[in-house]
Amino acid sequence: MRVLVTGGAGYIGSIVALRLVESGDAVTVLDDLSTGHRDAVPAGAAFVLGRVHDAAELLAGRRFDAVVHLAASSLVAESVANPAKYEENNVVGSRRLVAALAGLGADRLVFSSSAAVYGEPDEVPITEDAPARPVNPYGASKLAVDGLLAEQASLGLLGAVSLRYFNVAGAYGGLGERHDPESHLVPIALEAALGLRPGLAIYGDDYPTRDGTCVRDYIHVADLAAAHLAALERAVPGRHRVYNLGNGTGFTVREVLSAVEAVTARSLEVTIGPRRAGDPAVLVASSARAASELGWVPERPEIATMIADAWRVLLARRS
């Protein structure tokens, strides 16, 4: 397959691109490098510098069978401070990309949606039928694109799949998380373990959970990438499907930090800070639909594996 991967220089996108290259697909990465890294684009993938907004012009003359669309702004706090940026980058950009698809020959698209579309859930584990009530502009932007894809599919113009990621962690093929600034728990804790930060704060310990800290469902980035390949194979023109991707098991922030201490054999300086605005208490996925329809079963469900893989890549990068 000839596959266009937007955002293929980012953490998840580069690993999706690598898995596609490994499985013999012809991959082109489109990325504006606003947050991604040129050296994360796998050898064997073509690279085009630019925004998804300009896909039609930048990719004129190229033909694709399918698109994996990950290019987006993805910081929840930033989306609250600057919602217009999320409308422009995520919603307008996706609309322009979708408008360019026919000219590029592609009739299948896999989209990186998010657990953030659900907001504060009524019930866990969260199924795809749960009400989508985002509590921040980031989640709202992902939900808007899910709606756009559903509409395009119903018009018979596209086969689309929205993958709603829960909390992604780990590394694959030497590629790990490299955000600047970093806001995610696992890389922050690993940087603290390595002495790159003095320590870290737990954002609230008064949630209604077993130890008072937020519960999240962590999924290994390589398992997540595998779901994209399965979704590409099963995307059917005229149809839009949504899948939640997690392991169905929740870990509290404290449990994650204990796992980091165990894997790294270092102790962390941890303080308790205030809650972070917009953090739901518990987010755990039901991925039963992905299992039955995509045949997708995570191969690396252990949080220790995710942390160990991320740790190895962080150490290698620092050496």
* Cα(127)–Cα(115) distance, integer angstroms: 10
Nearest approach in angstroms of CB 20 to ligand UFG is: 22
**In this chain, which of 20, 71, 214, 308 binds ligand UFG, going by CB under 6 A?**
214
Length of the chain: 319
Q: Which residue is at the shortest CB distance from ligand UFG? A: 214
201 is an interface residue for ligand UFG by CB under 6 A: yes
**In this chain, which of 87, 191, 279, 293 binds ligand UFG, going by CB under 6 A?**
279
Nearest approach in angstroms of CB 48 to ligand UFG is: 25
Q: Which stretch binds ligand UFG (CB under 6 A): 112-120, 229-237, 288-296, 303-311?
A: 112-120
**In this chain, which of 23, 34, 183, 267 binds ligand UFG, going by CB under 6 A?**
183
Q: Which stretch binds ligand UFG (CB under 6 A): 29-37, 52-60, 97-105, 195-203?
A: 195-203
Q: Do 299 and 224 meet the contact criterion of CB atoms below 8 Å apart?
A: no
**In this chain, which of 9, 76, 175, 313 binds ligand UFG, going by CB under 6 A?**
76
Size of the site for ligand UFG (CB under 6 A): 21
* Cα(303)–Cα(251) distance, integer angstroms: 9
Q: What is the side-by-side order of every strand in the sheet holding 26-31?
A: 46-49, 26-31, 2-6, 66-69, 108-114, 159-165, 240-245
- 138 included as an active-site residue: yes
* Cα(86)–Cα(88) distance, integer angstroms: 5
218 is an interface residue for ligand UFG by CB under 6 A: no
Choose the catalytic residue: 138, 165, 218, 243.
138
Q: Which of the 8 DSSP states describes residue 90?
A: I
Q: Do 217 and 250 meet the contact criterion of CB atoms below 8 Å apart?
A: yes
**In this chain, which of 138, 172, 243, 311 binds ligand UFG, going by CB under 6 A?**
138
C-alpha closest to that of 186 among 282, 194, 81, 8: 194
- Residue 77 in 3-state DSSP? helix
C-alpha closest to that of 118 among 106, 133, 138: 133
> Between residue 258 and residue 277, which ones bind ligand UFG under the rule CB under 6 A?
276
- Residue 284 in 3-state DSSP? coil
Question: Please, which residue, 27 or 115, has the CB nearer to ligand UFG?
Answer: 115
Nearest approach in angstroms of CB 74 to ligand UFG is: 5
**In this chain, which of 253, 285, 303, 306 binds ligand UFG, going by CB under 6 A?**
253
Six-digit token pair at 203? 């954002």
Question: Please, which residue, 26 or 82, has the CB nearer to ligand UFG?
Answer: 82
Question: Please, which residue, 54 or 279, has the CB nearer to ligand UFG?
Answer: 279
Q: Which stretch binds ligand UFG (CB under 6 A): 48-56, 59-67, 183-191, 292-300?
A: 183-191
Q: Do 164 and 241 meet the contact criterion of CB atoms below 8 Å apart?
A: no
For residue 125, say if its preceding peptide bond is cis, omega within 30 degrees of 0. Answer: yes
Nearest approach in angstroms of CB 138 to ligand UFG is: 6
C-alpha closest to that of 173 among 5, 312, 2: 312
Q: Active-site residues: which are they?
A: 138
